[in-house]
């Protein structure tokens, strides 16, 4: 693929021009003096059928964008480019559709209304006087739509593959484009999730309050890492795992399970990581130590960056809390970080919109966590959750290394107590 063609500004310029034309047309058709005067006599049928009360240019542009939005990525533009005159097929199709809608819509509408012809299967049923024909046509349309949907999903996967420089396989790119991975709670999702249509969730955390408009594929397994589930999906779909992907998946498992030390780790996680390590050609102990040392390199980073390295927010009733985890193999580094992090937490709490903030300073080697906390009644909440006395702003929790399994559950359970929460 020509890299210079991808970097060309021409498609962006064309898109900007197109959007500008559509916005101007929309204003002219909807809010100009002529449009407002015409609307007084316009019926819903005129609007719905795109009759003569609608501008033919707008009908043409709408048809074009509907047609080209799918064909641009699926290869038809490349076909027209290679075969030249064949591209006229698209222009003629769009133009003919616009002309038909402009001249015949108002004449066709009364007939459609009389015989209740809402879809193509309805028309075929009337023409052949057979419900079997209607069912057959409906099935054909459904089959072609399934093929089209698969094509679009594969296209998104291809786009992700190209954007990642070939690191992400097409099948993984397709899944990422439509799937919430490693989380299922609205507060933890990307901005704009309310406007998105979630079609699939793959996760290993607790199930939060996320509503969808339609039934979806929801896969939630009590494993130590979502990468273990992703590996299972590779096997189930008989897709070969490339060494680079195997290395990423193995690293994710080692990170989430703290190299199998976390209580969330299962035999399946360990077996999967060992399998992936063989494919990637890495030694697990050596790779894990190097990864943890690199991940715990905190020198030169701001407290805000460190706090958000591994951060999740939770809500119980009207209370919102955030729990961050900082892992390190160097206890001295964690000790030096503590006062700076507490200062950051105190200064950030009010403007964050949170009721309490927590930070886990976890020593991977010693398998212990010092939990820092700020917020009204935070100390009382921690004492209730872990049934042991603590300091004013911190408590040491030996053996606690997992936020999901050892920290979140007792904290949220204690937060349910109204006397503490208030």
Of 293 and 93, the one with more pLDDT:
293
How confident is the model over 62-77, as a mean pLDDT?
A: 56
pLDDT band at 1 (very low <50, low <70, confident <90, very high): very low
CA distances from 161 to 74, 177, 200, 342 (A): 15, 11, 20, 42
pLDDT band at 342 (very low <50, low <70, confident <90, very high): very high
**Which of 404, 354, 402, 403 has the alpha carbon at shortest distance from 378?**
354
Q: Which of 141-145, 261-265, 321-325, 341-345 has the lowest mean pLDDT?
A: 141-145
The whole model's pTM is what?
0.48
pLDDT band at 185 (very low <50, low <70, confident <90, very high): low
How confident is the model over 76-88, as a mean pLDDT?
A: 56
pLDDT band at 397 (very low <50, low <70, confident <90, very high): very high
> Is the pLDDT reported for residue 152 higher than 80?
no
**DSSP-assigned letters across all residues of 196-242:** S---EEEE-S-------SS--EEEE---S-HHHHHHHHHHHTT-PPP
> Is the pLDDT reported for residue 411 higher than 80?
yes
In total, the chain counts a number of residues equal to 422
Q: What pLDDT score does 365 carry? A: 80
Rounded CA gap, 46 and 49, in Å? 6
CATH of region 223-295? 3.90.1640.10
Tens-digit pLDDT profile for residues 216-230:
778 889 898 999 999
Rounded CA gap, 12 and 18, in Å? 10
Helical axes 170-178 vs 131-163, angle rounded to 10°: 110
Strand partners, 314: 321
Asked if 405 and 264 count as a contact pair (C-beta separation under 8 A), the reply is yes
How confident is the model over 97-123, as a mean pLDDT?
A: 73
How confident is the model over 92-112, as a mean pLDDT?
A: 71
Q: Is 317 left (phi over 0), alpha (psi -120 to 50) or beta?
A: left
Fold exhibited by the domain 303-421: Diaminopimelate Epimerase; Chain A, domain 1 (3.10.310)
* Helix intervals (H) in 1-55: 3-7, 10-30, 33-39, 44-49
**Which of 48, 54, 65, 60 has the alpha carbon at shortest distance from 98?**
60
Q: What is the CA angle 393-399-401, rounded to 5?
A: 75
If you search the block for the tokens 């919102």, which residue do you land on?
Answer: 320
CA distances from 367 to 53, 254, 341, 396, 397 (A): 73, 15, 21, 11, 9
Q: What is the CA angle 62-64-66, rounded to 5?
A: 70
Longest Cα–Cα distance of the chain, Å, equals: 84
* Domain range list for the chain: 3-115, 128-220, 223-295, 303-421
If you search the block for the tokens 């929801």, which residue do you land on?
Answer: 218
Q: What pLDDT score does 21 carry? A: 75
How confident is the model over 322-326, as a mean pLDDT?
A: 92
* Helix intervals (H) in 116-205: 120-128, 131-163, 170-178
- Cβ–Cβ contacts within 10 Å for residue 95, how many? 14
């Amino acid at each position: 693929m020509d890299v210079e063609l991808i970097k060309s500004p021409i498609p962006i310029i064309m898109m900007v021009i197109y959007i500008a034309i559509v916005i101007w047309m929309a204003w002219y058709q909807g809010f100009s003096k002529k449009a407002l005067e015409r609307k007084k006599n316009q019926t819903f049928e005129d609007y719905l059928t795109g009759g003569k009360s609608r501008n033919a240019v707008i009908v043409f542009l709408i048809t074009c964008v509907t047609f080209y939005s799918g064909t641009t990525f699926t290869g038809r533009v490349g076909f027209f480019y290679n075969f030249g005159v064949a591209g006229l097929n698209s222009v003629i199709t769009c133009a003919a559709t616009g002309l038909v809608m402009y001249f015949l819509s108002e004449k066709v509408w009364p007939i459609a209304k009389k015989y209740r012809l809402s879809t193509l299967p309805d028309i075929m049923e009337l023409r052949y006087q057979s419900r079997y024909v209607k069912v057959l046509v409906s099935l054909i349309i459904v089959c072609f739509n399934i093929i089209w949907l698969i094509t679009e999903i594969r296209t998104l996967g291809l786009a992700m593959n190209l954007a990642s420089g070939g690191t992400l396989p097409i099948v993984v790119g397709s899944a990422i484009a439509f799937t919430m991975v490693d989380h299922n709670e609205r507060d933890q999702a990307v901005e704009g999730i309310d406007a998105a249509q979630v079609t699939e969730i793959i996760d290993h955390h607790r199930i939060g309050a996320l509503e969808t408009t339609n039934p979806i594929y929801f896969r939630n397994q009590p494993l130590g890492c979502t990468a273990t589930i992703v590996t299972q999906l590779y096997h189930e779909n008989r897709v070969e795992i490339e060494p680079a992907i195997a290395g990423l998946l193995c690293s994710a498992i080692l990170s989430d399970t703290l190299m199998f030390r976390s209580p969330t780790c299962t035999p399946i996680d360990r077996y999967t990581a060992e399998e992936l390590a063989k494919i990637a050609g890495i030694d697990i102990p050596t790779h894990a130590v190097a990864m943890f040392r690199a991940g715990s390199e905190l020198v030169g980073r701001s407290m805000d960056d460190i706090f958000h390295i591994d951060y999740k927010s939770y809500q119980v009733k009207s209370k919102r809390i955030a729990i961050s985890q900082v892992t390190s193999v160097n206890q001295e580094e964690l000790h030096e970080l503590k006062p700076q992090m507490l200062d950051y937490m105190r200064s950030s709490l009010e403007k964050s919109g949170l009721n309490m903030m927590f930070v886990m300073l976890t020593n991977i080697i010693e398998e212990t966590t010092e939990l820092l906390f700020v917020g009204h009644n935070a100390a009382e909440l921690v004492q209730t959750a872990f049934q042991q006395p603590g300091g004013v702003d911190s408590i040491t929790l030996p053996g606690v290394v997992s936020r999901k399994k050892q920290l979140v559950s007792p904290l949220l359970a204690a937060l349910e107590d109204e006397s503490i929460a208030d």
